[in-house]
Amino acid sequence: MTPDTYIVTAVLLGLSLLIAMVRWPKVWIVTFLLSLPLFLTDTGTGINAREVALGSFFSGTVILWMIWSVGRPDRVLIRHWFDFLLLLYVILTGCNIVIALLNNVDPIEWAADFSVVCLMLYYFPIREYFTQEEDLKLLLIVAAISSIGMAGFTVYMYKQRMQDNGLMYAYQLVSSRSVTLAAVHLLGVLFAIAGLFYSTFRVRVLLLITAAVNAGALFLSFGRTLWVFFFVGVAMLMFFLRARQSVALATGLVAAGVLAVAVAFKVNPRLAEIGTRVVTHRFTSSAQLSGGDLSFETRIIEAEAALRHIKRYPLGGKGLRHPFISYHPIEQGHHNTSFVHIGYIGIAMRQGIPMLILMMVILVMSTIMCWKGARQLPSTGPYRLYKLVSIVMLINMPALFGNIFMAGIFDQRYGNVMFAVIFACTGIATEMLHRRTTAVTPDAPVLP
């Protein structure tokens, strides 16, 4: 398709989404989730017309929905201090345009980054329309299908890059990887595994497919940090299972791992052997941070350069998309970039230390809400699904905090969409817990 065709298609899609947003809001959200494989997947060719068109309409429609909802007297958006702080974060990020312009940032580039932050606002419509059990089931099923689409596209792109590399050396196996959506795949795997203990036989078939496809994509990311957090998440999940279920989970994971390795060596022994060497190297290189692990060394040098800017502008930062110069050990040269892999430092450099503190408060509050839902919601009756959601979001939290440190997801499309989904699921479960312990109606504000 030509860029003009993408633009025409995007305009038609945008008008359809605007109509759906008002008339059929669930269709709007479902369309958004099912479009994520096209919108979030890294093709390795830079930003194209399709991504620009989808991004503009997805961010634009949620901003319009927020404005429309504020003007409706029958809708209460701010129900909790968490809601207030999240909305405050987005509004203050919008005010960052003043600082960015003072630091000579291109307003178009700033707007591109701000539109990515606005994706976090999908928390509000998702929580608004998917509170009931049947609606929540629909949301989770659509999210699972979307994750399968993203995983399938990740595997396809990996295969294409692997063919281009010729697969002559082990390092080419790593260079073919795409780690962009690894955190999404990890969340998909953890949700599918936990869901096996809270679902019927028919649903388990979809969950097994979701787990298998996302596990394959997660492995192909060669992201050792998220591999480790997978086992951390499984260990946390066992805390909420019975002893017999924990044994079954451990046995099943070992059996699945052995089967996967056996099949790999049977189908393509050479590729499996190279893969084994690469995995071993990925972990052993972590013990050689100086000169051994160039990716980690790059992050440290990058962080040191960003910290110099934070010392000069600690309160307001230098603005979204403000570039800085950093040395790149892998490329053996300096380069101009606005991206900081260590997300905590990146947000402080762009938006200031107070904004970093605000985001940390939001993340900690979300974690506490997950913990309360996981511990206090019953495992039976109408609360079963909500407890599952709380548990999954809780066991994914260590990976989320770790991924922020390694991948700087605050200014990434997939990161803000993931924030929106995680926060929304946590908020839905929290409201169910609140309705169980008090007599308030679903739309009653918690924050005075």
Return per-residue pLDDT of the chain as tens, 448 residues: 565 665 666 666 666 666 766 678 888 899 889 988 888 765 555 555 566 666 777 888 898 889 888 877 777 888 889 999 999 999 999 999 999 999 888 888 888 889 899 999 999 999 999 999 999 999 999 999 999 998 888 777 777 766 665 554 444 444 444 556 888 999 999 999 999 988 877 888 889 999 999 998 888 776 778 888 999 999 999 999 999 999 999 999 999 888 888 887 777 777 677 667 666 766 665 555 454 566 677 778 888 888 888 999 899 888 888 887 776 666 666 767 778 888 899 899 999 999 999 999 999 999 999 999 999 998 888 889 999 999 999 999 999 999 898 887 888 888 999 999 999 999 999 999 988 877 444 454 444 3
> And the tokens for 83?
């809601």
Task: Tell me what pLDDT residue 37 has.
Answer: 86
Cβ distance 306 to 349 under 8 Å?
yes
Q: HEC string of 140-194? A: HHHHHHHHHHHHHHHHHHHHHHHHHHCCCCHHHHHHCCCCCCHHHHHHHHHHHHH
Measured CA to CA, the distance from residue 302 to residue 345 in angstroms comes to: 10
Task: Tell me what pLDDT residue 200 has.
Answer: 79
Task: Tell me what pLDDT residue 41 has.
Answer: 67
Task: Tell me what pLDDT residue 265 has.
Answer: 79
Residue 148: what residue type? Answer: I
Task: Tell me what pLDDT residue 262 has.
Answer: 86
Measured CA to CA, the distance from residue 183 to residue 76 in angstroms comes to: 32
Task: Tell me what pLDDT residue 16 has.
Answer: 67
CB atoms within 10 A of CB 76: 16
Task: Tell me what pLDDT residue 392 has.
Answer: 95
Identify the bridge partners of residue 327 per DSSP, sorted by sequence position.
Answer: 334
Q: Where are the alpha helices (DSSP H) in 221-330?
A: 224-238, 243-267, 269-284, 294-312
Show me where the domains of the chain are located. Answer: 3-287+344-437
Residue 2, Cβ density class (10 Å: 0-12 exposed, 13-18 middle, ≥19 buried)? exposed
Residue 273: what residue type? Answer: E
Total-model pTM: 0.87
Measured CA to CA, the distance from residue 398 to residue 363 in angstroms comes to: 11
